[in-house]
Structures are given as structure tokens and as C-alpha cells.
Structure 1
Amino acid sequence: MSSSVMGHSPLPTHTPPTPPEPARGRRGHPWLTLVAVAFGLFMVGLDGSVVSIANPEIGRDLHASTADLQWVTNSYLLALAATLILGGKLGDRFGRRTYYLIGVAGFALASVAIGLAGSIEGVIAFRAVQGFFGALLMPNTLGLLRAAFPPKKFGMAVGIWAMVSSVSTALGPIVGGLLVEHVDWESVFYINAPIGVVALVFSVLVLPQSKSAAGRQRFDIPGVVLLALGLLLVVFGVVKGESWGWGAGSTLGVLAAGVVVLLGFGWYETRLGRPAPAASASPVSPDSRTGASRTGPAEERRGHPILPMRLFRSPALTIGTVISAVNFFVLLGVIFFVMLYLQNVRGFTPVEAGVRTLPLSLASVVASPLGAKLTERFGARLTMPLGMVLQAGASFAILGWGVHSSYAAMWPPFIALGLGVGTVMAASSDAIVGNAPVSDAGVAGGLQATALQVGGALGTSVLMSLISVRVGATLTGELTSAGVPASAAARMHEAKDAVAMGVSPVGDGMPQQLKSAVVEGSGQAFINGVHTAALVTGVLCVIGAVLAAAGVRRDPQVPAGH
């Protein structure tokens, strides 16, 4: 799909011309490229959703504390978020195929190392290594697609890319549950080895090399350091905000420091990306063999920004980045408390809970290519708001859930959420990567992946904090209303953190009548928290829909579908 359909904003005149597209034989077959990157994407997506299933067994086997288990997730997330844009930039500069293959091999080896670690410290360390290699892999999947597919077919390729991501995420709880129940927790990580081998062999055979014509420009080391440090501080503040408290000085200090560093990064990148003065700039001459631009000595001495600020002159790219973050804020946040509800409140096993959320995953699978086709035909100004509205409807429908809701009340919002997520994923991916020059495709892929990770981290942390606050405010009253004596209900208020996870504070020696009352009251307090979180996500989706509808513009010179 042509990027101009997506609200294209012209790039500055000093942008070097993109080299002409090579012949089909040199760049490989686009659809084989899609199949190759799908293997790596499937491996990362599956791993991301099976780890939460394995965490309880990891804790029991390695005698890990709750804080240790949090770091099993957080070390991966921090390493991934801090280096995603770097991974895309390395691919753009030195070869997307090369860094995709390094990412696949490193991710698979780190997964095996996690299973062999034998200690919680080793698991945490290798999870960080896994996150780093995931950051080399993920953005270059989109970068390779952007280079391989012509504009008219890129939107559909992104739709299939999003579908693969949805399928792998959907299978995670089921595959992870089966492996943990019938094999061991290590097998959850070992499964990445055969997938990685298949991905490597197939990719070596079919993937073409692609990279931007960056000449001998210096690599932007200061930009790498500033961006990594800023993202580390922001993501660390987000993941610790729930335990530290969002109003705590430590949380606010870390978040403020991260924002200041990122603002400094933006200022530095803007200066670095300015054209050289006319007096010192050397003319850009075409290469006689390839037609690609050759930079003169003055340009070679200039750094090349790791994240060119000129990309954000495209309204579709900028808004697509924001909507990507909102999309995963809602998706991962809702899935987190839905799994707590199904397993801890309703008593389903992980596999049973995973099966019951299949409508969400299947709807996302259907919506991804459909959303890509609709985006290709009508533009993101229709599909991004449409996806946000569907997610808002799903969130507001959750307000009708209770402690004993039937499955008939669950699957309609699951389907609406899946349709919305798939539609937004396809539209926002095309908006971000499709509106960036091919030379910056890896960076754009890294930008989108970073938005997804930061949005997802915010979703789980912020929504769980909202649930905790609401549970703390209503727990004593709900226990009393359910028949728990006032004195006992007051004592049980200390268990509000457990109730916020859907766990009822019952003991073996409790009389059955009191136990039933505690389960009922604490379950209702948890539902109160879920309703608050669902209301916030619904309002956020409505705001996202309005932003996308008002901010994304179609280029009037380009008809739909071109």
C-alpha cells in the first residue's frame, strides 16, 4: 500500500534519494520473505505468552521470591524496550537479513540457556540476553517486508504479519499450560530451539539482503546511549510504579529522569539530522553503476541519527505510534486481569483459561488481514478509529461481568476485543512502517515495536494498580455485605494485595459458611476493580478513536487503493 494513502507528509528535500528497487532475482520473492520472517516472529510471540504460565513452576523449582519472578519478566522487557530501535537501525545500516539471523540464533540459544541455568539468577540474566536478541529480530521482520514488497502489497503483508503475531500469542497459554503440566517448565523455553533452527535454515535459503545506502557515515553512539538510558528509566519506572506507588517520589523521580533524557535525545537527534551548511556540504552524486547516491566528505563526517526526527513529520506515522501503544495497553492489560479472573476467581486451569480466551485470539487472526485490506482501500483514518471503537465496546461490555457470570457474557467482548486489536495492529503497522522511507524501514519497525512494549508495560502496571486501589477501597464493605462479621472483615483488609490478584483470603480451618462468604465478598471486590480498569480502557479507546479520526489525513492527490 502506498504510504501516501496513509496521510503522507513530504520528507525534507535534503533526504538522499532512495536507490532504485533491484530486480526480483536479487531481492528474492516477497512471499518467501514473509514466510521466513514469520518463523522468527512466531518464536518471539509464543515465548512472550508462555512465560507467564511457567512462572509459578519456576518459583517453586528454583525457590524464587515474588520479586525474583517479576524480574524474570522485567529483565526481558527492559532489555527489549531499550534496544528495539537500535536493532532496527543496525539492520538498516549493515543488513536487515544479517541482524534478523543473528537475532533468531541468539534468541534460540538464550532460550536453551534459560532452561539449563539451574538458578533464578541465571534465568533472569539469560532472559535479559533473550530480550536483546529479540530486539535485533523483531524490527527487522518489518524492515525486510518493507524492502521486499511493492507499496500496493505491503499493507496485506503487514496484515499477515500481524496475524502470525496473534496466532503465536494465542497459542502461548495453551502450549505453555500443556508443557508445564505434562513435561516441565524448562520445556517452555526449549521449544524455541527447533523453531529457531527451522527459521534459520529457511531464512538462509530465501531471505535477500537489504540495507540503506548510508555510505561511510559515523554511527550515532551518543544517540544510542541516550535512547537506551531514557527508555530504560521510563520502562523501569512503569514496571515498578505498581509496587512503589504511582505517587511515590521514587516512581516520579525515575519517570521524570527518563522523560528528561528522552527530551535530550530528541534535541540531539534533531540537531544531528539538520542538513550540512551549504558552504561545507559536498554535492551528492549518483553512483554510475547502481544509481544510488554517494555522499561527499562533509556528509561522511556527519553522524546519522539513530531515530531521524523527520519521520515524525508524517501525521500517520506519529499517530500510528501513539495508537500502537494504546492498542497494547488495552490488550495486555485486559488479558492480564481476565486471566486472573478466569483462574483465581472462577477456578479454571491455565489450559482451560487459554481455551476460553480463544475467541479473542481467533478474532484477532481474522481481523489482521481484513484490517490490512480495509486500510489499503479506505486508509487508516477509517480502520484505526474502527479498531479503537471495537475495543471500547469490549471494555464497556466487561462492566456487565460479575463473580458468577456465564461464558455467554464473556465471549462477545472477547471477539470485539480481538477484532479491534487485529484491525489496529494492521493499520498502525502500515501507518508507521509504510510512511517511512525504505532506507529507514528497520528504524520504523523498531519504533513500532518499542511503542507496543511500552504500551503493554503501562497496561499491565497501570490497570493492576487501579484494580488494587479499588479493591482496597471496597474490600471491607463487600466482605461485610457477603455475611463476614465486621471484625473479621476488618482484619482481612490486610489481604487486599492477594484479593487484587483474584485470590480469596480463606484458611483451612474456616467454617464452610464463613469461607463461602469470604470467597463471595473478595470476588466481588476484585470485580469492582476489574470494572474500574475496564472503564478506563474504554475511555482511553474512545480518545484514541477521536485522535486517529481527526489527525490522520489522506493525501487528496492519491486515490484510495493506490
Structure 2
Amino acid sequence: MTSQTTVEKAPRDPQDSAPAPVKGLRGHPWLTLFSVAIGVMMVALDGTIVAIANPAIQKDLGASLADVQWITNGYLLALAVALITAGKLGDRFGHRQTFIIGIAGFAAASAAIGLSDSIVLVIAFRVLQGLFGALLMPAALGLLRATFPAEKLNMAIGIWGMVIGASTAGGPILGGVLVEHVSWQSVFFINVPVGILAVVLGLVILKDHRAENAPKSFDILGILLLSGAMFSLIWPLIKAGEWGWGSAGTLGWLAGSVVLFGLFAFWESKVDEPLVPLAMFRSVPLSAGVVLMVLMAFAFMGGLFFVTFFLQGVQEMSPVDSGLRLLPLTGMMIVSSPLAGALITKFGPRLPLVGGMVCTAAAMFGMTTLSEGTGTFAMSLWFALLGLGLAPVMVGATEVIVGNAPMELSGVAGGLQQAAMQVGGALGTAVLGAVMSAKVSAEFADNWKAAGIPAPPDPRLEQAAEFGTVPGELAQAPGMTPELVTTIGDVIHDTFMSGMGLAFTVAGIVAVVAALVAVLTKRGENAEAGAGAAHI
């Protein structure tokens, strides 16, 4: 043990830490990146493509609104709860094996969903998808960290981030085409050939890397405590809109998560081989990177949630057309991610991260100016600026977290990065949704009265204003005239736009805070040298 610690603390020569030159296919860095990207693309695409299929699933299987919500929530819960544990599995048993199992399981679960004839089976297999997705995402980062030399890691993570960004934003477009022209089942069946390709590439190309001081035991109690804490945090965020933020249920679950996180931290400080060595968080850059990912996902995912309703509700676009309107965001992320990797390699992550969050904040504040009459050019400007801001953050924060962790904990670090995104996204959607709901409740009745509508406001129409969508059956209501339908539609849209503007303002403020946090980040140059510190 002593000799091992001495090696870990020895000054690091960059030549020593670089992977040995590779001949042939197995272990080739760029082929490894290609193989990993295929699998990651499948999971990232699935995150948004399914949303387009939900209405068709609901109609075909006769599901309730709550059932349809669980198609997404079940996947989110499983993913968020299992990510860090899955990263530890990769550190313990090898990232190559974990990645391939994750890909195969994800594809198999996708096929099972496509063959399901009940909403209960769809939800159950979506949970299974989330568990297998949790296996492969941290393993992908662990493989990149072990395969690429330090001077090329940022570029690799940049391309990795580009694939995730493009797949996430491209999901609504592909999903719209498949649902409209094939079936909702095709949204899931498409994962099967992609998964088979990814497994074959993984078996041929990926090389297993094991750190000398990789964990030999497994912290079962730590897994249970962390899983319970993550569940207790994500569950009330999902249900807060239904329960209310001040309800006993919401506050009770959140309090329970705090208790469980506290018990987890206490246990981790006592166990010999902890699930998440708390000494990792002595690294200020790593901790700042985790916080930054939470804040970035809060602003991005929470804000983007309203953009889709704005495009499809207020501007009355089809799912395919709304996806096409987001192409400036996708395109800018595709272009900017590799460039961000090059900039971070040359100048370090701090300046690109601060600049990225400033651009993100500017885009969020800019989107408060959107209106029913906003044209394509103005929307494209703000979407492109958002993509420009997100790219360096996706790349840089990932490098800061994974790069500042010891090599034998790269899977845990990858799990932390992904878990931070899931928590931030859930928190952003829940909090900004509550902001929107409160603003709509405060203004709808006044807007209704100001429009001169004689009848009292209908609570169902107030609920419609939270989504910016005029109900199709409104025109068939007794006593309804075309003029009155137009007036009520204006009230719904105006109220929605006011709520969305406030939500984007909050998202912009969060992005400004994230820019300040980004000042604390730095390059993970001494990750391997600091490996021993995580065990002291």
C-alpha cells in the first residue's frame, strides 16, 4: 500500500500519463470516440424523440395524462438515481464491459417498448431503459479519459458534447417524421439497429482500461443511501406541480433527501472504499464544475421546456416545424463544441466557461422579448446565441469534473457530471414551471377582464394558458363566435408570454450566477497526481 501511494503522489510527467501509441483498431483513440459516440447518440436522441411520440402513445394505448407523464418521469428517475452507482460499476469492473452491457440493454428495452401493448409495460421498460442508459453514459466518459492523451482530451470531449447536443436537438425532427409517416413504435425500434452497430464496434474497437488502484470492494450501504437520497430529491421535483411547493408531501420528501444525503456523507467518511470519496470535493474546480453543470442544466433544460410550447402553442407550428426552428441551436452546438474543445486546450476552461454562461444569460434575457409576432430571424438569433454559449460549458465543465478526478474514479466523476445535469434539468423544469404557473394565476383573470369578455374566466382555459395552447374544442362551445374565440386566444397567448418572459428572466439570472461559479474552475492537470489524496 505504501509503495502504491508513493507512485500516486510522485510528480507527473505528461509523457508518462499519455496512453501508449496504439496500432490497429483496438484502443485507437479516434475510433474509440466514434464507437462511444454511436452509443451516446442513441441515448441522447431518445431523451427528446420520445416526447414527440407521447400523444400517439396516449391515443393508441388509451393512457391518461399521468400515465404519459410517467413515460418521461420513470426514465428520468431511473437515470438520475443510478448514474453515480453505474459510474462506480465501470470503475470496478471495467468501462468497456459496462458500456457494452448498457448499449445492449438499452436497445433490448427499446425493442420491448415497441412490442408493448399496454401503457404499464411501456412505463416499466422505460424505467429499464433509464437504468441501462445510466450504465453507458459515465462509462463513455471513462473510456475517453483513459484513451486520449491530456492534450487531446478536450477536443474529444468537445466532439462528444457535439454529438449529445445535435442528437438532443435533432430528436423532435426525427421523432416527428417517424410518428407522422411510420408509427410511434418506430421511435423505439430505431434504437435496435443502432444498438447492434454500437455493440459490434464496442467489441472490436474498445479497449478495457483499469487503474492500478481501482476499487476492489463495493459500498452497498452507500449505494442504498445515495439512491434513496437521489430518489427523494427528484421525486418531489417531478410531483411539485401536482402537490404544490408548500405541501407536506413536497417538503417532507425534500427534507428526507437532506437527511439521506447527510447519512450518506457520514457513512462515506467512515467506509474503507467509499462509493464517492468525499475527498474528491476538496478540489474546488471539481466542486465548481458540478455546481456549474446543475446551474447550466437548470437554465437550459428549464428554458427550452417553454420554447417548445411557444413554437407549437403560440405560433401553432407542427412538431417537425418546431424542431426545424431549433436548428440554429443545434447547428451552433455542432460547430462550436469542437472549437470550444480547442480553445479550452489552449487557454484553459475558465475563460470559455465564463464566456459561455454570459452568452447563455444573454440568450435567456433576449428570449424574454419573444412574442406571437416574432419572426424566424429574431428567434434564430437567440437560439444560435444559446447554442454558442452552451457548447463551451458542456465541454469545459465535463473536462473540469472528469479531469480533476483521479483516474480510478473517472467513472464516478462521469456519473457526477451526468447526475448534475439530470438534477439541474429536473430542478429547472420544476422551478420555472412553478414560476410560470404563479404568473399565469396572477394575471389570467385580469387579462380576461381587460379583454372585455362578459363570461367569468374558465379554470380550464387558465390551465391552457400555462401551455400557450388554445383548446381545439373552444370553437364548438355554446355561444362561441369566431370573434370571441380570437379574443380568448389572445388572452391565453398574452398570459403565456408574460409567464414565459418571467421564467426566462429567472433562467437568465441563474446563468449569471453560473458565470460567477465558472471563475472557480481550472484545468485538471494534476488529476493522476492527486489520486492518492482521495484515499487519505
- TM-score of the superposition, structure 1-length normalised? 0.88
The reply to whether residue 500 of structure 1 matches residue 466 of structure 2 is yes
Contact 1:223–1:306 at 8 Å: present in 2 too?
yes
Cα 1:531–1:79 shift into 2, 3 Å: same
2:491 to 517, 521, 533: 521
Secondary structure of the structure 2 residue equivalent to 1:305: coil
Residue aligning to 2:92: 93
1:23 and 1:556 map into 2 onto residues whose CA distance is: 18
Cα 1:309–1:526 shift into 2, 3 Å: same
**Residue identity matched to 2:61:** L
Runs of 4+ residues over 4 Å off in structure 1:
12-22, 553-558
Counterparts in 2 of 1:265-284, with a 5 A limit? Answer: 265-272=264-271
Secondary structure of the structure 2 residue equivalent to 1:491: coil
Cα 1:332–1:557 shift into 2, 3 Å: closer
Cα 1:555–1:178 shift into 2, 3 Å: closer
Contact 1:46–1:171 at 8 Å: present in 2 too?
yes
2:128 and 2:461 map into 1 onto residues whose CA distance is: 36
How far has the Cα of 1:218 moved from its partner?
A: 2.3
Counterparts in 2 of 1:427-506, with a 5 A limit? Answer: 427-485=396-454, 488=455, 490-505=456-471, 506=474
Contact 1:479–1:521 at 8 Å: present in 2 too?
yes
1:149 and 1:389 map into 2 onto residues whose CA distance is: 30
Cα 1:548–1:47 shift into 2, 3 Å: same
**Residue identity matched to 1:63:** G
Q: 1:234-264 CA deviation, whole Å, 9 max, x = no partner?
A: 0101111121111111101101101210121
**Residue identity matched to 2:378:** A
Cα 1:448–1:250 shift into 2, 3 Å: same
Contact 2:110–2:125 at 8 Å: present in 1 too?
yes
Residue aligning to 2:150: 151
Contact 2:19–2:147 at 8 Å: present in 1 too?
no
Contact 1:476–1:492 at 8 Å: present in 2 too?
no
The answer to which of 471-480 and 197-206 deviates more is: 471-480
Counterparts in 2 of 1:351-430, with a 5 A limit? Answer: 351-430=320-399
2:449 and 2:386 map into 1 onto residues whose CA distance is: 35
**Residue identity matched to 1:160:** I
How far has the Cα of 1:369 moved from its partner?
A: 1.3
The reply to whether residue 48 of structure 1 matches residue 47 of structure 2 is yes
Residue aligning to 1:110: 109
Contact 2:52–2:319 at 8 Å: present in 1 too?
yes
Cα 1:345–1:356 shift into 2, 3 Å: same
Cα 1:221–1:57 shift into 2, 3 Å: same
2:415 and 2:526 map into 1 onto residues whose CA distance is: 30
Q: 1:93-121 CA deviation, whole Å, 9 max, x = no partner?
A: 11100000000000000000011111000
Secondary structure of the structure 1 residue equivalent to 2:289: helix
Q: 1:66-87 CA deviation, whole Å, 9 max, x = no partner?
A: 1111111111111111111111
**Residue identity matched to 2:361:** A
**Residue identity matched to 1:504:** V
1:557 and 1:325 map into 2 onto residues whose CA distance is: 24
Contact 1:475–1:496 at 8 Å: present in 2 too?
yes
Counterparts in 2 of 1:118-157, with a 5 A limit? Answer: 118-157=117-156
Give unpaired runs (5+ residues) of structure 2.
528-536
1:313 to 271, 282, 293: 282
How far has the Cα of 1:481 moved from its partner?
A: 2.8
2:481 to 499, 511, 536: 511
How far has the Cα of 1:15 moved from its partner?
A: 6.2
Contact 1:387–1:424 at 8 Å: present in 2 too?
yes
Residue aligning to 1:293: none
Residue aligning to 1:281: none
Contact 1:159–1:426 at 8 Å: present in 2 too?
yes
Give unpaired runs (5+ residues) of structure 1.
1-11, 273-301
2:306 to 322, 327, 337: 337
Q: 1:135-162 CA deviation, whole Å, 9 max, x = no partner?
A: 1000000000000011111111110100
Q: 1:19-47 CA deviation, whole Å, 9 max, x = no partner?
A: 97664348721111101100100000111
Aligned length: 513
Secondary structure of the structure 1 residue equivalent to 2:316: coil
Q: 1:457-508 CA deviation, whole Å, 9 max, x = no partner?
A: 11222112211111111112222333422xx2x3324432221011225341
1:58 and 1:540 map into 2 onto residues whose CA distance is: 35
The answer to which of 520-529 and 406-415 deviates more is: 406-415
**Residue identity matched to 2:41:** F
Residue aligning to 2:36: 37
- TM-score of the superposition, structure 2-length normalised? 0.92
How far has the Cα of 1:408 moved from its partner?
A: 2.5
Secondary structure of the structure 2 residue equivalent to 1:80: helix
Secondary structure of the structure 2 residue equivalent to 1:213: coil
2:215 and 2:336 map into 1 onto residues whose CA distance is: 43
Cα 1:116–1:555 shift into 2, 3 Å: closer
Q: 1:418-437 CA deviation, whole Å, 9 max, x = no partner?
A: 11111100110110011111
Secondary structure of the structure 2 residue equivalent to 1:24: coil
Residue aligning to 2:513: 543
1:455 and 1:335 map into 2 onto residues whose CA distance is: 13
Secondary structure of the structure 2 residue equivalent to 1:399: helix
2:74 and 2:279 map into 1 onto residues whose CA distance is: 32
2:350 and 2:396 map into 1 onto residues whose CA distance is: 9
Cα 1:93–1:400 shift into 2, 3 Å: same
Residue aligning to 2:259: 260
Secondary structure of the structure 2 residue equivalent to 1:122: helix
Contact 1:395–1:538 at 8 Å: present in 2 too?
yes
Secondary structure of the structure 2 residue equivalent to 1:217: coil
Contact 2:440–2:465 at 8 Å: present in 1 too?
yes
2:321 and 2:54 map into 1 onto residues whose CA distance is: 17
Contact 1:242–1:462 at 8 Å: present in 2 too?
no
1:428 and 1:407 map into 2 onto residues whose CA distance is: 31
Alignment root-mean-square deviation, CA: 2.1
2:9 and 2:50 map into 1 onto residues whose CA distance is: 44
Residue aligning to 2:21: 24
2:414 and 2:300 map into 1 onto residues whose CA distance is: 20
